[in-house]
Structure 1
Amino acid sequence: MAEPNPKELFNLGVKSNKAKDYIQAKKYFEKACNLNYGGGCFSLGFLYTNKDFGEKNYKKALALMTKGCELNYALGCVFLGNLYTNNGPMVKKDLRKATQYYSKACELNLGVSCSLLGFLYQNGNGVKKDLKKAFALYAKACGLKDGDGCLRLGEMQRSGEGVVKNREQAMKNFKKGCELKNKLACMGYKATIAEIMNERCQLGDEVTCVYLNNLLDLFDIDE
């Protein structure tokens, strides 16, 4: 019988971890990591943060998680990015490092990381504020089916923040975010429809006024 490949070893480790068989999980993750499988290194590191594992060691955990990211495990990179956005038991807040890890995960096409990186650029947190870059990152995130990316893309288009105001395009992105189960994107979609209809109503379009009233009742906008 052939030896399991690195991915299979990783999957066996995940299965053992879910069953709370941490000793066996460690063996599988170690083997996968030694074969340069990033997920194995990261997951082994994560084990060292688990008090139930019995070998809690933040220094070792951070080294293994970092190795996982260096081996292109995107989820490991975004996890590290999140770690460095706050002070914690493992690291001190360092937005420069957070930016680097988010960037790598985004380059590896992890949509949520593109969205988180876009948020840093939109607000100038740890980086020079760059709305065009933020917009491009949100667009990439949305294209990678990250609902939050679609939401933020729609918000920028709806308000005209750093881009040409385009409510029709904003509605498309809000709708896509809503389809990806992002509740705020659903709200953005409904609110934009109501906003457009309200303007038409104010211009004397009575039919639109009727539809608007029905829309407000349907969407419970006031709640």
Structure 2
Amino acid sequence: MPWPLSQFAAMLLALPVLAQAPAQPLPDSASASPAVQEALKKVDDGDVAPLVKLADGGDADAQYYAGLVYLFGRGAIAKDPARGCAYEEKASARRGDAMHLVGMCHQSGAAGTPDKAKAEAAYTRAAAMGFTKSKCALGQMLMADPQSAARGLQLCKEAADAGDADAQAAVGNAYFNGTAGERDLKAARSWYEKAAKQNNLDASRRLGEMYAKGDGGPKDEKKAMELWTAGEKAGDPLVSILVADQLFSEISGGRKPGPGTYAFRGGVPTKDIEVIEEWYRQAKTKDPRPDVQARADYALSILAGLKSASNVKKR
């Protein structure tokens, strides 16, 4: 029964503070005792009691998985972040991944009030225990302060060089934004490429944007669309608007939705317009950002009028 941290980190984004939660697959339950594995099967049936019994009896693996269940919920089992963090705290003496989650608990305030110092201490300890991802979690916290940004970037680079895809994306973000110095779009694109090859959705989306604009290298709108559509299939909720805007610009003289006039090419097939409309509807359904919602509504109103225009070819 695999428990990927990417799934749980994404859910933890719903809690305050964590703007960029780290993510990588954690060891699955194959390394746990038969008793823990059997208890995990019952969790999926809605019965957490056997797992809790093992956790309360001192089994570190059971504590770790019980922590995950309560931190993020599992089927019919409701979330209880405070209890989940408490179990991760118990497991953290023996598991670096649990110590990492303790850091996330303190950073997000999942167990109460956010505590920056405790989060940094937990990430430092988890990294020392061999959990590479914690280096960049700590690094990202340090990069929030200009005085420690260079050190933070170095920690993320160490994790990125070790092959961590989320760290590679974080380094790409740092170079793109100029977090620890001047912006370096070529370097950002290179790091995004590495992370995207490991199916990091954030990096793939951002890399697509760089291809679409020609930032840090040659412009390639086809490649951008390939990255975005693959991301949509993989579950990225933020790419539908990018695909929609790109398709819109291809029929509007290069303009994205907004006030002003458009140079719509003549004879646009109704079917093509409907494809663009569907992407905007997907954006409205999947992407909660207010600006995206407003842009999608604006675009849909324009496209509805375009479909009824006399220069549209019906087919």
What is the TM-score of this pair, normalised by structure 1? 0.72
> 2:210 corresponds to which residue?
120
Question: 1:7-50: CA deviations, max 9, x gaps?
Answer: 1010112223443251x434422232234423311122234446
Consecutive unaligned residues of structure 2, counting only runs of 5 or more, are 1-57, 61-92, 255-267, 311-315
Question: 1:63-114: CA deviations, max 9, x gaps?
Answer: 21112333454443323212212444x2322112101222233233332322
User: Does residue 198 of the first structure (1) align with residue 293 of the second (2)?
Assistant: no
Query: For the Cα contact (< 8 Å) 2:277–2:303, is it kept in 1?
Result: no
Identify the structure with the greater helix proportion.
Answer: 1
Give the number of aligned pairs: 196
> 1:215 corresponds to which residue?
none
CA spacing shift, 1:97–1:25, aligned 2, 3 Å: same
> 1:63 corresponds to which residue?
154
User: Does residue 31 of the first structure (1) align with residue 138 of the second (2)?
Assistant: no
Consecutive unaligned residues of structure 1, counting only runs of 5 or more, are 204-223
Q: Which amino acid in structure 1 is aligned with residue 127 of structure 2?
A: C
CA spacing shift, 1:72–1:178, aligned 2, 3 Å: farther
**Where do 1:38-49 residues align within 5 Å?**
38-49=132-143
Residue 200 of structure 2: which of 103, 107, 110 is its match?
A: 110
DSSP-derived class of the 1:160 partner: helix
CA spacing shift, 1:21–1:168, aligned 2, 3 Å: closer
Residue 285 of structure 2: which of 179, 184, 193 is its match?
A: 179
What is the TM-score of this pair, normalised by structure 2? 0.53
Matches of 1:97 and 1:50 in 2, distance apart? Answer: 20
CA spacing shift, 1:201–1:124, aligned 2, 3 Å: closer
DSSP-derived class of the 2:239 partner: helix
> 2:232 corresponds to which residue?
142
Query: For the Cα contact (< 8 Å) 1:36–1:71, is it kept in 2?
Result: no
Q: Which amino acid in structure 1 is aligned with residue 131 of structure 2?
A: Y
Please report how far the alpha carbon of residue 199 of structure 1 lies from its aligned counterpart in structure 2 after TM superposition. 4.1
Q: Which amino acid in structure 2 is aligned with residue 13 of structure 1?
A: G
> 2:115 corresponds to which residue?
20
CA spacing shift, 1:171–1:110, aligned 2, 3 Å: farther
What is the aligned-residue identity percentage?
Answer: 18
CA spacing shift, 1:46–1:77, aligned 2, 3 Å: same
CA spacing shift, 1:176–1:70, aligned 2, 3 Å: farther
Query: For the Cα contact (< 8 Å) 1:10–1:28, is it kept in 2?
Result: yes
Please report how far the alpha carbon of residue 173 of structure 1 lies from its aligned counterpart in structure 2 after TM superposition. 1.6
Q: Aligned Cα RMSD in Å? A: 3.0
Q: Which amino acid in structure 2 is aligned with residue 118 of structure 1?
A: G
> 2:186 corresponds to which residue?
96
User: Does residue 85 of the first structure (1) align with residue 176 of the second (2)?
Assistant: yes
CA spacing shift, 1:25–1:38, aligned 2, 3 Å: same
Query: For the Cα contact (< 8 Å) 1:72–1:108, is it kept in 2?
Result: no
